[in-house]
Structure 1
Amino acid sequence: MSDNHWWFFDLAVVIAVTGTLTFGVFSGVDGITRIAVTIPLVLFLPGYALVSAMFPDKPNDNYQSFDEEKTGLGNPLLASGGLETIERLVLSVVFSVALVPATALIASATPRGLTLGMVLSGIALLTVALSLIAIGSRYRCPPEQRFVPRLSSEPLFFTQRQNAFRRTNPRPYNIALVVALILLVASGGFAVANSPEHDGFTEFSVDTEDVTGETDTMYESTYTAGQPNELQTTITNQENEERTYTTVVLLEQVSYEDDGVTVHETEELVRESTTVADGETHQQTLNVTPSMQGDEFRLTVLLYEGDPPSDPTTENAYRAINLPIELE
């Protein structure tokens, strides 16, 4: 079978490799394998698809003569419609370096934010879309001008050609290209291996009521001693890994002074643990039954990672919420 029957082969490979590598990343590979899988996705494949879409024709060395009577120029002009192999490879890397940050910027504007999954999904979809556009562009080219990936061997770098228009020694250019590509791949591998992660945090809140003109407090603030009440809390895990949390609710009798709050008596009302996956939100329904009587009370809702200490307080908790209440 001639090479002309394989004019779409390289783009079909790009689509297949993009899908395979993306699946490999999402399957949870790590270490050196993760770096090896990610580098082609971010440093070559998107740019190659874009270059193929922009330059569907093959290079040529045809020369056009000027009409001396109209232009006054006697020298011919080199008209090259396509790109050589080394030019395609270099531009593929350059365009990839430009496309990946643009994809990350778009991903950061989505509701899910800037995550590895969103960026890789965007890069994969963009690469496949550009590859399909490139296939269509090549198909519209005349067969004799269409770029066809050669099954036979061809020179990868610039070579010396014996004509009057190319007398520059290509060796320095080839050396510079090799050094630049090695540095780029090395820096890309380092960036993938040491991808920055934001510091972990946990969001902790008490569910509030709809605010209207008659709302005094945004939460249930009136309790009856000895009667159970429900307290709704929400935990959102952004710690980059699964975490186990324990929520402790204290009823505290306090007095408010100029220099702060003094706690006179404390009663633990409830203690409940739950496990929340990274990036997930969990809602807790806590049954609160206060038993003390008197004035100036507050509910102190404490959140701990793992098991809480025997004497839970605001100072030793990971998160703390103070809710002034009235006891009837």
Structure 2
Amino acid sequence: MSLKKNIPADLKVVMVLVLLTDLFVLIPYLSESPLRTALGLPMVLFLPGYALIAALFPARDDLDGIERIALSFGLSIAVVPLIGLGLNYTPWGIRLLPILISLSSFTIIMALVAVHRRKDLADCAFVVPFEEIYDSIRAEVTSKPESRLDRILSIILILSILASVVTLAYVVVTPKQGEKFTEFYILGPDGMADGYNTELKAGENVDVIVGIVNHEYSVVNYSLELWLDNDSMEMPESLRHISIAHNRTWEKPISFVPAVTGTDMKLQYLLYREDNMTEPYRDLHLWINVTEAQDDN
């Protein structure tokens, strides 16, 4: 018997949802779809915990359905931050692709463990009775009620449930426009929020990764400038015109060689918007010390 036939229906659904979420995040055209949000929410809030519960409690009598659902939400909320914390101490950092790969791998691995453990339990394994649920609903809908009033009430109940589901889906995939803002940050050469090389010899580089995240609900053109102790530094033309779509991230490593020596010099990274090039929209700075290079001779 193939592995596909050995996988319980609920775990098949988990794996399919994980793969669909990956596709809707990674494929450019699909990533613009509202379905990305609809798939992303269970990927973060439910599926990791459900797969973990399935692996830990494979037997039918371990937990009842309500307990499994409640614990799935609770463990997902616990597991996802722990995965993010672990990624923070890796070279990849807390970014979309590493988080997606980690969550997907964790969920699928736990689901496969659950498949193996349920297989050993045979008839005592937990299963979600999808067919029984479907037959029960179908019987309620198709069977002739005792009176016309019962039929009308059944139709109203079904329509109410459908309306609630459609309304919930609409609210999830079309969230209200929130506060408009731009994230602006600098990271060290290793992609972490530390490790900045601020103690330099003359001629050495200040290497940082500059990041901009647009949450302005429209395409915004930015411009980046560097200032050292109130003196503007020459910047490449590509950093003068940075166009970023809504909810997109721009990151680029930038090296700067101070032309002067000194202590406690303020190196500023200034971000301007196209509608106001006179005052910085966001600003960050480092305090650097540059000393004369010693002659080994």
TM-score bracket, shorter-length normalisation: 0.5 to 0.7
Quick one: which of 226, 235, 238 aligns to 1:247?
226
Match of 2:254 in 1: 282
Give me the whole-angstrom Cα distance separating, in 1, the residues matched to 2:59 and 2:263: 80
Secondary structure of residue in 1 paired with 2:207: strand
Q: CA RMSD, aligned part only? A: 5.5
Give me the whole-angstrom Cα distance separating, in 2, the residues matched to 1:317 and 1:197: 14
Secondary structure of residue in 2 paired with 1:278: strand
Match of 2:117 in 1: 137
Match of 1:272 in 2: 235
Q: 1:31-180 to 2 correspondence within 5 Å?
A: 32-57=34-59, 81=61, 88=65, 90-112=66-88, 115-143=95-123, 147=127, 149=129, 151=131, 153-155=134-136
Change (3 A) 1:322 1:191: same
Change (3 A) 1:47 1:111: closer
What 5-or-longer segments of structure 1 have no aligned partner?
Answer: 59-80, 160-173, 210-218, 221-228, 253-267, 291-295
More helix, by proportion: 2
**Contact preservation (8 Å) 1:269, 1:289:** no
**Contact preservation (8 Å) 2:270, 2:284:** yes
Give me the whole-angstrom Cα distance separating, in 1, the residues matched to 2:284 and 2:267: 8
| Offset at residue 230 of structure 1 (A) | 3.1
Q: Deviations over 1:266-315 (max 9, x none)?
A: xx6852235497344322236x389xxxxx999775543359xxxx99x9
Give me the whole-angstrom Cα distance separating, in 1, the residues matched to 2:103 and 2:46: 11
Matched, 1:189 2:164: no
**Contact preservation (8 Å) 1:38, 1:192:** no
Secondary structure of residue in 2 paired with 1:271: coil
Match of 2:25 in 1: 25
Give me the whole-angstrom Cα distance separating, in 1, the residues matched to 2:260 and 2:25: 49
Larger Rg: 1
Identity across aligned pairs (percent)?
17
Q: Which amino acid letter does the alignment assign opposite residue 247 of structure 1?
A: L
Q: Deviations over 1:102-161 (max 9, x none)?
A: 1232134235365554544443223212211211122111347674755564436xx9xx
Give me the whole-angstrom Cα distance separating, in 2, the residues matched to 1:297 and 1:126: 48
Give me the whole-angstrom Cα distance separating, in 1, the residues matched to 2:179 and 2:126: 43
Q: Which amino acid letter does the alignment assign opposite residue 113 of structure 2?
A: I
What 5-or-longer segments of structure 2 have no aligned partner?
Answer: 141-156, 189-195, 215-220, 243-248, 293-297
Aligned length: 237
Q: Which amino acid letter does the alignment assign opposite residue 35 of structure 1?
A: T
| Offset at residue 6 of structure 1 (A) | 5.8
Change (3 A) 1:188 1:14: farther
Give me the whole-angstrom Cα distance separating, in 1, the residues matched to 2:69 and 2:174: 16
Q: Deviations over 1:149-185 (max 9, x none)?
A: 55564436xx9xxxxxxxxxxxxxx99xx8xx97xx6
| Offset at residue 98 of structure 1 (A) | 1.1
Change (3 A) 1:6 1:148: farther
| Offset at residue 244 of structure 1 (A) | 4.6
Q: TM-score, normalised by structure 1?
A: 0.49
Give me the whole-angstrom Cα distance separating, in 1, the residues matched to 2:44 and 2:213: 23
Give me the whole-angstrom Cα distance separating, in 1, the residues matched to 2:284 and 2:125: 68
Give me the whole-angstrom Cα distance separating, in 2, the residues matched to 1:195 and 1:127: 31
Give me the whole-angstrom Cα distance separating, in 1, the residues matched to 2:130 and 2:7: 9
Q: TM-score, normalised by structure 2?
A: 0.53
